[in-house]
Amino acid sequence: MLAAKKYSCLLICFSYPPVLGGSEIEAQRVCRALRERGHRVLVLCAGHPEMPAATDWVDPYGTPVRSIGHGAQSPQLDRLFAVGVARELWRLRKEVDVVYFLMQGLHLVPGLPICRWLGLPIVMKISGSGIVEFMQKSFLGRLELGWLQRWAKRVMVLNDGIAQEAVNAGFDRQQLFWMPNPVDVDEFAPVSLAERKRLRAAAGIAEDAPVAVYVGRLAPEKELGSLLEAFALVQAQAPAARLILVGDGPERATLEAASERLQLASFVQFVGRQPMNRVLEYLQLADVFTLVSRLEGFPCSLIEAMSTGLASLVSRIPANEQLVEDGVHGWSGGVRNAPELAAALLRLIENPEQRAAMGVAGRQRIVDNYSSEKIAERYEELFAIATTERT
């Protein structure tokens, strides 16, 4: 059911697609879902080199975007964006019901007090584990956290670990609002066996080969070195198994060298950064999704994989455990514990019927709780609180 009241939301985030990351993808999906339910949304972001050259443009789903400081590099881009946020808040002050800050940064320094001065309701999302602790290490970060504690109507968190970090920094638990990331469950859906066979053939993968896939940045916090070590142990017992790493990042050369060292070059594919339609195809042709990070907020890649019907191998961290119940939606292992991760992955590979049942249960969990429509309803609840609650 559509909300009776329609809100005008200014979403302020330092980066936005075509810059790709979990927070950027989340922002785009939330904007799309809110607009489809009749709300007005304007995105304010920094003018990264990947952005269209125009100041005002529209994303592929129809959301209007205004980018500031196009062509500049950090730290100049950070400063230009902060000034631009201040200017746009003043200019739009009579058109906005609620201001949503998605990402921390220098722009909060003018943004938060100006919103307070103008009487614009503030909501903020802490988009990852460790962000609050990182902010506490600098004077400006501590200043921003103090203002958020006093002025934000609600501060959104992704998991219990982030909530505890916020409480440790002085936030009242009643100010915190759990807000998971959404996924389009119609787009990220399983395919027929015939289509899966076609996708595998196009990718040069044998129809009966067990395939594990990872999607995301090749970055240190993802602990992909331990995934390769675990896969080497698995591959020794399941020679037909394959691992596909979808994404790019600073660790790629190191991981490719590790793959060579572990004699996995013939069994591990590094396919680089891919457009979203290709990412979806890699999920649809795979058997198992893997995410063995030490830090996550609410991983978009994991909910996409579960929505696609994949059983998962995950590390035991709060972000993953709130999604994957061990033995129900997949199996978990300790961070950097290659033997434990290998045992869990082998169990998934060797038990196709159980794996399929886990995939069905995982998709149902996502459909029931994390579809774009469900999350849009939570945003409507949040906006109602922000626009009616007195400070």
344-370 per-position pLDDT tens digit: 999 999 999 999 999 999 999 999 999
What is the reported pLDDT for 390?
56
- Percent of the chain predicted with pLDDT > 90: 88
What is the reported pLDDT for 242?
97
Could you list the beta-strand ranges (E) of 247-368.
Answer: 268-272, 288-291, 311-315, 330-333
What is the C-alpha to C-alpha distance for residues 86 and 387, in angstroms, rounded to an integer?
A: 21
How do beta strands 211-215 and 176-178 pair? unpaired
What is the reported pLDDT for 72?
85
Q: Is 93:8 a contact under the CB 8 Å cutoff?
A: no
> Residues in the chain with pLDDT < 70?
1-4, 390-391
Query: What 8-state DSSP symbol labels residue 180?
Result: P
Q: Is 282:214 a contact under the CB 8 Å cutoff?
A: no
What is the reported pLDDT for 70?
86
What is the reported pLDDT for 297?
85
H or E stretch covering 66: strand 64-68
What is the reported pLDDT for 385?
95
Q: In what order do the strands lie in the sheet with 8-12?
A: 56-58, 64-68, 40-46, 8-12, 98-101, 122-125, 154-157, 176-178
- What is the Cα gyration radius of the chain? 22
What is the C-alpha to C-alpha distance for residues 176 and 281, in angstroms, rounded to an integer?
A: 37
Instruction: Give the DSSP per-residue string, 119-147.
Output: T--EEEE--STTHHHHHTTSHHHHHHHHH
43-67 per-position pLDDT tens digit: 999 999 888 889 999 999 999 999 9
pTM, two decimals, is 0.86
Cβ neighbours around 365 below 10 Å, total: 18
Q: Is 159:297 a contact under the CB 8 Å cutoff?
A: yes
What is the reported pLDDT for 53?
86
* Domains of the chain as residue ranges with CATH: 8-180+371-388 (3.40.50.2000), 193-369 (3.40.50.2000)
Cβ neighbours around 169 below 10 Å, total: 18
The tally of CA atoms less than 13 A away on the side-chain side of residue 6 is 11
What backbone phi and psi angles, to 5 degrees, belong to 194?
Answer: -65, -40
Give me the residue label for tokens 């584990």. Answer: 129
